[in-house]
Amino acid sequence: MNGQHPALRNVGANLLNSFVVAQKFVVMRPESKKLPLSRRQLFAI
């Protein structure tokens, strides 16, 4: 990780953070799976 460009590390961290946030959102709101638009809304964010 030390030899990598800082910007690339930031992009990787941002992707990981957004993935974790999305996982938490899905876990906290299981009822959203019943909504037909939930999947499109998730990708629209």
Q: Which residue has the higher pLDDT, 4 or 35?
A: 4
* Residue 32 confidence (pLDDT) above 80: no
> What pTM, to 2 d.p., does this model score?
0.39
Distance CA 44, CA 3 (A): 34
Q: How far is CA 15 from CA 9, 19, 39, 40, 45, in A?
A: 10, 6, 18, 19, 13
